[in-house]
Structure 1
Amino acid sequence: MSVFARLVEQLADLLQPLFHASAAAAAIVLFTALVRLLVHPLSRAAARGQRARAELQPRIAELRKQHAKEPERLQKAVLELHAEEKVSPLSGCLPSLLQLPAFFLLYHLFSNTSIGGETNGLLTHELFAAPLGGRWADALSGGGIFGAAGLVYLALFALVAAVAAFNYRRTKLMMAKNPVTVTAGQGEQVPGLGAVNKVMPFMSFFTLVTVAVVPLAAALYVVTSTTWSAVERAALYR
């Protein structure tokens, strides 16, 4: 069995007296919180970077006016400005990228009946009545939407929808205060940017699709991580 699987099992053993049959599910939530706690310093740095980039917007607007007909010179000037102020345009991507390995490990762990030649015992664990290795389709075929397993997914969907609605409102407010106006060539707006700006606030709701199609264990990771992100961003970007 992999080191990662042993880690989840050991956490489940520690939590078993408190959570009983749902100890493995609690272990996944705890593991996710530990991952996010490790990434938190990068999230704080990303928040500082975003504030710094916002402060540079007036100067970038001036550069756009100066080099409206020279897109290559504009790009170079913007990069030089970021380097001069020691602001990375990509700093906000690091926290999300560093979380991907943990998500894929969980997905792999609960999508395989055997690991390292041994039977994957973690698939026998449940969150209340829903198997951690199962999907929403399995819950629907087993007992329907209001079956024991179906109710677990309804609770997860309700939580994800609440977090997505909170993120939607925050994103709309932030975009209203700091509208994105990237131009190209003769000062015209980049084609398609307006459509992207309209869709962006709804991105959080796509998490509902993820929760519906991945194994429940991976869904727990996604739900815990997105809830953490909502609270963390509300605190860091207030």
Structure 2
Amino acid sequence: MNVFDLPPLAALLDLAFRGLMALSAALTPLAGSAAAALAVVLVTLLVRILLIPVGVSQARAEQTRARLAPKLRELQRRHGRDRERLQRETMQLYRDEKTSPFAGCLPLLAQAPVVGLVYAVFLHPMIAGHANTLLGETLLGVPLGAGLWSGVISGSLDAATAGVIGVLVVLIAALGEATRRLFRPAPVPEGAPAMPAAALGALQFATAVVALFVPLAAGLYLFTTSAWTLGQRLVLRRLIPPAAPSLRAARPR
């Protein structure tokens, strides 16, 4: 069962669709046949702007992780052979510091409904019982509903579709590589809870893989989100620089 067939969600999805189409119509005098693609990019940017507080929360969580890294390494040195005590002391350290190994996760979960709703507009050929005409609009002659993998499976893949989506996938992968190089996560001591940032680079590359399987409209959303996220993290790193690591070892117990 498609959850977006449920009346409340279908109504929200239809509202988002109509807003996108209205924006596309307004942009047509300026962007011509690329108006719908530009509308996708602008709506994605609007969503990311509204979610800036989430990025700030994540930056502060990364700052805390950097500050606690030496203490976590010290705990690993002391209790590495006693996994149960290492886990207990690690959690106590987080309690003493009034933080959590999962700091930054709740804002991510909070943004999921908004992001999911907007992203769903780019995936569903039918919305609230009517055709999703957004996917029939084009970018450089390629329908926004066209997909690389679906074209391969159906045998309908043409050079234009392969070229446009291929370039988009390469750009997303390049953003993933830039993110991986610029934001290498600090090593996590053995036995400490896994940190969400540790998978950041892998998630960025996973985004490029996802772009191979989704419609072009969704690929534009993924590219715009990846570019915004990288830029936002660069800005926040200057505004909220990583804290100097705490040199005071965790207190013995």
Task: Identify if the C-alpha distance between structure 1 residues 43 and 153 changes in structure 2 by more than 3 Å, giving closer, same or farther.
Answer: same
Alignment partner of 2:26 out of 14, 20, 25: 14
Cα distance between partner residues in 1 of 2:91 and 2:53? 25
TM-score scaled by structure 2?
Answer: 0.73
Q: Which residue of 1 aligns with 2:83?
A: 71
Cα distance between partner residues in 2 of 1:170 and 1:91? 21
Cα distance between partner residues in 1 of 2:201 and 2:123? 31
Identity of aligned residues (%): 36
Cα distance between partner residues in 1 of 2:47 and 2:230? 16
Q: Does 1:182 align with 2:194?
A: no
Give the deviation of 1:99 after TM superposition.
4.8
Cα distance between partner residues in 2 of 1:15 and 1:95? 33
Give the deviation of 1:225 after TM superposition.
0.6
Cα distance between partner residues in 1 of 2:120 and 2:100? 33
Cα contact 1:107–1:214 (8 A) shared by 2: no
Give the deviation of 1:51 after TM superposition.
1.1
Q: Which has the higher contact order (CA 8 A, sep 6+)?
A: 2
Correspondence 1:193-208 to 2 at 5 A: 201-208=201-208
Q: Which residue of 2 aligns with 1:166?
A: 178
Cα distance between partner residues in 1 of 2:46 and 2:100? 26
Amino acid across the alignment from 1:169: R
Task: Identify if the C-alpha distance between structure 1 residues 110 and 57 changes in structure 2 by more than 3 Å, giving closer, same or farther.
Answer: closer
Bigger helix share:
1
Q: Helix, strand or coil: the match of 2:187?
A: coil
Q: Helix, strand or coil: the match of 1:91?
A: coil
Task: Identify if the C-alpha distance between structure 1 residues 200 and 100 changes in structure 2 by more than 3 Å, giving closer, same or farther.
Answer: closer
Cα distance between partner residues in 2 of 1:39 and 1:91? 17
Task: Identify if the C-alpha distance between structure 1 residues 143 and 49 changes in structure 2 by more than 3 Å, giving closer, same or farther.
Answer: closer
Task: Identify if the C-alpha distance between structure 1 residues 219 and 102 changes in structure 2 by more than 3 Å, giving closer, same or farther.
Answer: farther
Q: Does 1:212 align with 2:220?
A: no
Q: Which residue of 2 aligns with 1:187?
A: none
Aligned residues: 221
Task: Identify if the C-alpha distance between structure 1 residues 42 and 202 changes in structure 2 by more than 3 Å, giving closer, same or farther.
Answer: closer
Q: Helix, strand or coil: the match of 1:233?
A: helix
Q: Which residue of 2 aligns with 1:149?
A: 161
Cα distance between partner residues in 2 of 1:129 and 1:139? 15
Amino acid across the alignment from 1:211: A
Cα displacement string for residues 167-220 of structure 1 (whole angstroms, at most 9, x for unaligned residues): 23224xx34xx3222238xxxxx9xx9xxx8x9755432322211101111111
Amino acid across the alignment from 2:137: H
Amino acid across the alignment from 1:81: L
Q: Which residue of 2 aligns with 1:90?
A: 102
Cα distance between partner residues in 2 of 1:38 and 1:91? 20
Cα contact 1:129–1:152 (8 A) shared by 2: no
- After superposing the two structures, state which structure 1 stretch, 199-208 or 227-236, moved more: 199-208
Structure 1 residue runs without a partner (length 5+): 185-189
CA RMSD of aligned residues (A): 2.9
